[in-house]
Structure 1
Amino acid sequence: MNQTSENTRTLVIERTFSHPLEKLWRALTEGSLLAQWLLKNDFEPMVGRRFQFRSEPMLQWDGLIDCEVLVVEPLKRLSYSWNALGLESVVLFTLTSEEGGTHVRMEHSGFRPDQQQAYGGAKYGWQKFFGNLEQVLDGGIQ
């Protein structure tokens, strides 16, 4: 049975970082920096680029998240598909420069009603990832 977009949930996390827009963009788009706060990857910021995030394998999961870059608007928006464990979803980052920092809005959309556990896991995971991002930014990206 196909699910329409009205039947899916979206997780939204918003945070303002006391770092310039360019620094946030680098943390989102440079594979080595992305690996420090999110997951190991072979990401490149090019629309159509297929890549994988690699997590530690767990029971009944190889730890691979299959992705494809959907949107790259430098210093503004970045989006990619996020497919693992039956979840076919989309992650979208929107950056907005603010006085004294950068506002980041992350939307992870596509959770079906029967994927409550995946939604809860993503909510926990993204909060943790955003904490990691703050530490990476504070750690001295130039």
Structure 2
Amino acid sequence: MTETRSVVVEREIAYPPEKIWRALTQPHLIEDWLMKSDFAPVVDHDFTFRGDWGSVDCRVLEVEPHSSLAYTWGAMGLESVVTWTLTPTAAGTHLRMEQTGFRPDQEQAYQGAKIGWRNFLAKLEQVVARD
């Protein structure tokens, strides 16, 4: 089996999990911080993220409302899984995003994801704050 790497980004967000969950699961909000999509929080739902550069083919793997969400992320030879975990805290929510499945020969995708997800999560925080 090939060794793979993961990208993990964690944030403390001063809002309850329910508010963050909306930004993670409602297409009009997802578009504001990530990309256009036809996402639905339903296990086995196939959906696509669309950006100016291309698209990402996905399938929902896990839905635990206000707690966890996982979906496949397939683009440009990368077959990975994105998992969101929301944990209530005294100050709001601890949000953890993990994207697993980067092969050693996918260094560019790995480095791009490390930068990209940090930027996406900064935008997600702005969407949660205003919505």
TM range (shorter): over 0.9
Give the structure 2 partner of residue 47 of structure 1.
Answer: 43
Give the 3-state SS of the residue equivalent to 1:113 in structure 2: coil
Deviation of 1:20 after TM superposition, in Å, equals 1.0
Give the 3-state SS of the residue equivalent to 2:79 in structure 1: strand
CA distance in 2, matches of 1:21, 1:70: 20
Matching residue's letter, 1:87: L
Q: Does 1:88 align with 2:84?
A: no
Matching residue's letter, 2:104: P
Runs of 4+ in structure 1 displaced over 3 angstroms? none
> Percent of pairs identical after alignment?
54
Q: Mark the runs of 5 or more structure 1 residues left unpaired by the alignment.
A: 58-62
Give the structure 2 partner of residue 68 of structure 1.
Answer: 59
Q: Does 1:104 align with 2:95?
A: yes
Give the 3-state SS of the residue equivalent to 1:83 in structure 2: strand
The size of the alignment, in residue pairs, is 131
Q: What is the TM-score with the length of structure 1 in the denominator?
A: 0.90
Deviation of 1:77 after TM superposition, in Å, equals 0.6
Larger Rg: 1
Q: What is the TM-score with the length of structure 2 in the denominator?
A: 0.97
Higher strand share: 2
CA RMSD of aligned residues (A): 0.8
CA distance in 2, matches of 1:44, 1:73: 13
